[in-house]
Structures are given as C-alpha cells and as structure tokens.
Amino acid sequence: MSFLPMTIEDMKERGWHQPDFVLITGDAYVDHPSFGTAIISRVLVSRGYKVAVLAQPDWRKTDDFKRFGRPRLGFLINAGNVDSMVNHFSVFKHRRKTDSYSPGGRAGNRPDRAVIVYSGRAREAYRDVPVIIGGIEASLRRFAHYDYWDDKVRRSVLLDAKADLLIYGMGERAVVEIAEALDSGIEAKDISWIRGTVYRSVNAQHKAGMTAEQFEKELFGDKDTVVLPSYQDISVSGKSDEEKAKKNYCRSFLLQYQNNDSISGKRLVEKYDETVYVVQNPPQEPLTTEELDDVYELPYEGTYHPSYEKDGGVPAIEEVKFSIIANRGCFGGCSFCALTYHQGREVRGRSRASVVREAVRLTERKDFKGYIHDIGGPTANFRKPACRKQQKSGVCSNKDCLYPKPCSQMDIDHTEYLELLREVRSLDKVKKVFIRSGIRYDYLLAGKDDQFIEELCRHHVSGTLKVAPEHVSDRVLAKMRKPSKEVFLAFDKKYRETNERLGLKQYLIPYFISSHPGSTLDDAVELALFLKKNGFVPDQVQDFYPTPGTLSTCMYYTERDPFTGERVSVPKDLEEKKMQRALMHFNKPENRELVRKALQKAKREDLIPVLLGSFEKRSHQGKPVEKNKGKVGKRR
C-alpha cells in the first residue's frame, strides 16, 4: 500500500508519465474512507486509472494546477468533506479561526466557494481538459438554491463553475462510468446519459428559430422527465415578485425531494434562459453490500499523508481513525439534515465479514490502543432498507419512515447489528467498541424487545450516550420531522432503568437546535422549562444553520412548509436568535441578561425566579452564584 502521488516526483516514482485524472480537493489529503477524495481516487485506481491528488492548491494562480502536467482524461474537483462556506463561517457569519481538515488545523488553505474557484483555475491551466465536479458542495448545489451567505438564490454550481459534468450523491459508480466514456474517446459535452450526474443542455438552434417550447418538447417532452420551475421563476427580481417566487421555490424543492430515488425518480430539468438548461439524470442505485465491501476494503493507508507530519497532522482524522463505516443512507428524514438529498433515504450496509476484517486490520496498527470508536454511519442502528417495498418500488414520495411515528411496514430488527458488534468486541486486542455516530431512539423503542438497549448499555457506552431530541415543542418537532418529547422521555426512562438494573452509572447527553424554522420565543421558553424540570444540561447547542439542499433551509428562506404550503414562523433577527440560544443555557452567568430579556419579551416574567433563581439570590444577598452540580450533559 502507498499514498497516491501528490507531486510530480511521486508520479515519476510510480513510472507514470501522465496522470489520467488530477483530483483537486479543498481538504488535506487523508487516505481514509471517511474522506470522499480517498474513496473516489482509490476506486479509479482499482479500475486501472492513474490518479494524482492535488490537495489544497494555491488558487491565486495556475502554477499548482499545472503541477502534474495535462491530465489525459480530466480534472475531478471537490471542495472537501464539508461545504467550503460552512467550513469558513459560523452561523453568525463570523470567519472561523480553525479548519480540522487542514494541516495543523490552520484555516485559510482553501477559497470560499472552492468548487467554483478551483474549476476556474483548472480551466485557465488547460482549457481543453474536461472538468467534473462532485462532493458535498457540488451535490447540494446542483440546482438553483438559496445561499445563506449571499442571502439570495444562486444558480446551479454547474453553471457558475463552468464545469462539464456534476456528480451528485455517492459518486463511485458514476465516476467510473464517466472515466470509461472519456477513455473511449467520447467528449465530455456529449456525456448525458449517466445516472447520478447533472449536465448542461443548450438550445443551439435558438438563432435558427427553434423556440424554447419546441426545444423542451423535443428533448424533455416525455413522461420520464419533470420540468422544474425556472431559475427566473424562483428568483426574486423585485419586491412584488417575492411571494410568487418563494411559492415556486417550494414547488421546485418538493419536486426534487420526490424524485430523489433510484427506482421512482425521474429526470429533472431546470431552465435558465431561452437557451440554457440544467438537466439532472435520475440517481444511481445504491451500492450493493458486495460493492460496499469492495469500496471499503480498498488499500487505504488509513491516515493523512506523511508530508503533513511537520505541521502536526490533520485533526479530522482523530475522530475517524479507529472508526468503521458500516452503512450508508438514512431513512430518519430529519428536516435539517442534507443526507436525504446527498446519500438518499435507502440504507445499505456492508457485510459483517467485511466489517470484521476491517476491525482486525485496525487492531494490527501500531497505535491501536484497544478501542474502536464507532461502527456505524449516518445512523448507527440502521443497517438495511426500512422495508421490503423500498427495494422493489423505491422510497415513498409522500410519507416518511419514522415521522410522525414509525411506519407499520417497517422491518425493525437489530439482530444482525448486534451479531456484528458481538463479533468485533470478541476480537483479540479489542477492549471496547463504542457507538458514536448516533442511534435513532424512536426506531429502537419500536423494536420487539429490549435486547439492543441492554447490550448498548452493557458494552457500547462509556459514561455518556449522545442522543438528539433537538427540541421538545411539538410544533417545532413537527417542522424538524422528529418524534415527540414523550418518545424521548420514554427512551430516557428505559435507558436509566436499564443502567440501574446493570449497576452502571451512565447518562444521556442531549443535543438541541435553537432558532429552527417554526421555533418562537415561546417554544424556546418551553424547552428551557423542560431542561430545568428534567435536570438536563445540554452539552452542545447548535443554532440552526441554513445549508443548501435541506427541507429546513427551504422553510427558512420561503417561510413556508413546501409539503403543506402553510406559513412557518422563522427567527431571523440576530437578537432573537441569541435569546433562543441563551434560554437553552439559562444556567450560565453570561446568559443572565439575555434570558431575562427573552422572558420579558415573551411576557413570562413569572418565570424569571424559576430560571434565574440563583442569580436573583446573588443580586439580593451578594452571595456567589450557585454553580450547577454534576457533569455537563448528565441528568442530575
């Protein structure tokens, strides 16, 4: 095993005179299957293609983009594991000071809107070389989308990047098909049939008199194609157009959501002007278990490139270095999560044998200390499609698997996952196997027995278990598409009882989101009272972050629910957002005045002594503020 070339010298050592592809990424080069760059490059190399990695190039000039010479087949470009704007800015649009995907955690190694910038420089370096973009940034921006940082609807990134093709979703199969097409001599502009890709279609006969209507009928006028509202229809060109444009935006989002399945999804077309269209082919089928095994057992080095050692390495590897990806996709359906749009709702899992083989390899590493940090994926206890129907007819386009409650058709069974965990924890050198990628407790509770939670508590928790109720207000949870607070309380009760029976002192760390669409100050106050009553101190509070591709972002921008058309209250005022966040940490001295102001604004002054009792005592008696006892995140 060895790292792929990062320099011309590396390439020559392999005996390569010219790479087939130069893969450009905004992350440092980490050859681990948690990083898209590693997977795509290894898959192509396994098919006989030569791939050189250009990690975090200097985008201010073209020199780095010419490092390997002219690639024979094309440039492959991604922004990294995280959207470059999310990577750079907090929800309050403050520039971040660190970047865990860069050497030494230093920020500033990639540009804003990295896919667009890198594509432009690649074009400058070699104008005639095909440019194919992919990864999370390209995938979630494949159609016109609301951009939080510009506060407007931006065009498809395919057009702004002036790329030839865009790969969306998990791109292993699509990138191989593109490579084979290019290798056979087909020009990039003519590759328009590959599933999981987006391409640009142009009415070249416009000047000759072919109207947009004629062009659309000839190319897109079939039952397997859906024409979305045009870019002009969903963009606000004037104040009088805003309401109509946002309704059209909701309709476009809904059509995209309903056609994001490999079985039932249709081709989607978005018009930009009289001549230019963006066309999305239906999604690729999820990889089979055998294909996933092949992908995750390629010869990854499992760590960052040694050239980063002098900088202290790449921090992002620490969380995943001794973790195992066991599944893909998520039928959880959370509104604020982009996985529905990127990985899809149909879950596929690796075989037990493949996961165990990877676990054995981890135990053979010199720095392995006996702990496997995770065996999971987007959701750890999802290992297969939610029901048999999904494999024949695709996922339901008009209802969710778990919201508002688990579907009666779901096949809820943790048996295979438990067998996998048992086999891994029985390996020599393995002291403990943790589950850190999260579990869906509503799915767990819907099971037939308590065997999974019993083994979870006994073997796979170390003091605390992270869960994500996200909120407790029914109307906010409805917009999040999360289970009710009663379900969370039922899980909390079962978790406590199980630990007590086992003689273990273990606690829950709940995660919550503030200022989500639908959340008012009244809802934030309700959450604060819930935390006070039940003795939870949230370990982390995340302000809702509008990112491309999610249902929640659609609601944030349009202030409507695209599924019902109903109006949604959206907290956008900075002060209100800070108040909602402060209410979740009402116990912190620095939040005292914000909490008081929030309660006054909500006309709940009666709750000031309830939530700020210790502070009131201090102000009247001059005594120090009473500190909360117990560890953060624990139920006291």
Same domain, 124 and 188: yes
Cα within 13 Å of Cα(477), Cβ side = 20
Residue 171 and residue 251 share a domain: no
CATH number for the domain harbouring residue 617: 3.30.750.200
Q: Please say which residue of 269, 292, 312 terminates a domain.
A: 269
For residue 324, give the DSSP letter.
Answer: E
Q: What is the pLDDT of residues 112-147, one digit of tens each?
A: 999 999 999 999 999 999 999 999 999 999 999 999
302 φ, ψ (degrees, to nearest 5): 85, 10
Specify if 316 maps to a domain: no
Evaluate whether residue 278 is within a structural domain: no
Residues 587/613, Cβ–Cβ less than 8 Å: no
Residue 369: give the domain boundaries. Answer: 322-462
* Bridge partners, 464 (sequence order): 462, 507
Question: How many other C-beta atoms lie within 10 A of the C-beta of residue 508?
Answer: 22
Confirm if 70 and 11 have CB atoms less than 8 A apart.
no
Q: pLDDT at position 339, please?
A: 87
490 and 632 fall within a common domain: yes
pLDDT at 235 over 50: yes
CB 196 within 8 A of CB 139: no
What total of structural domains would you count in the chain?
Answer: 4
Distances (CA, A) of 426 to 265, 370, 372, 543: 43, 12, 12, 40
**Domain contains 524:** yes
Kindly state the average pLDDT of the residues 555-573: 96
Same domain, 111 and 218: no
Last residue of a domain, one of 407, 435, 462: 462
220 and 353 share one domain:
no
Residue 276 lies in a domain: no
| 148-178 pLDDT tens trace | 999 999 999 999 999 999 999 999 999 999 9
Of the candidates 186, 320, 214, the residue with the CA atom closest to the CA atom of residue 274: 214
The strand pairing partners of 51, in sequence order, are: 21
Looking at the structure, tell me whether residues 47 and 171 fall in a common domain: yes
**How far apart are the C-alpha atoms of 588 and 127, rounded to whole Å?**
57
Q: Is residue 311 part of a domain?
A: no
Question: pTM for this one?
Answer: 0.94
The whole-number pLDDT of residue 623 equals 37
Note the pLDDT tens digit of each residue in 407-460. Answer: 999 999 999 999 999 999 999 999 999 999 889 999 999 998 999 999 999 999
- Whether 307 is in a domain gets the answer no
Question: Is the bond into 624 cis (omega within 30 degrees of 0)?
Answer: no
Give the pLDDT of residue 628: 38
CATH number at residue 330: 3.30.750.210
C-beta separation of 140 from 78 below 8 A: no
CA–CA distance, 68 with 65 (Å, rounded to integer)? 8
Question: Are 35 and 152 in the same domain?
Answer: yes
Could you tell me if residue 19 is inside a domain?
Answer: yes
Q: Which of 96, 166, 172, 106 is nearest to 138 (CA)?
A: 166
Secondary structure of residue 165 in the 3-state scheme = strand
Residues 224 and 358 in one domain: no
Residue 162 Rama label (left phi>0; alpha psi -120 to 50; beta): left
DSSP class of residue 261 equals S
Tens digit of each residue's pLDDT (9 = 90 or more) over 606-618: 999 999 986 554 4
Are 485 and 624 within one domain? yes
Query: Around Cβ 453, how many Cβ atoms within 10 Å?
Result: 21
Classify residue 190: in a domain, yes or no.
yes
Does residue 526 share a domain with residue 488? yes
Kindly state whether residues 236 and 328 are assigned to the same domain: no
Are residue 491 and residue 556 in the same domain, yes or no? yes
Q: Residue range 577-589: average pLDDT? A: 94
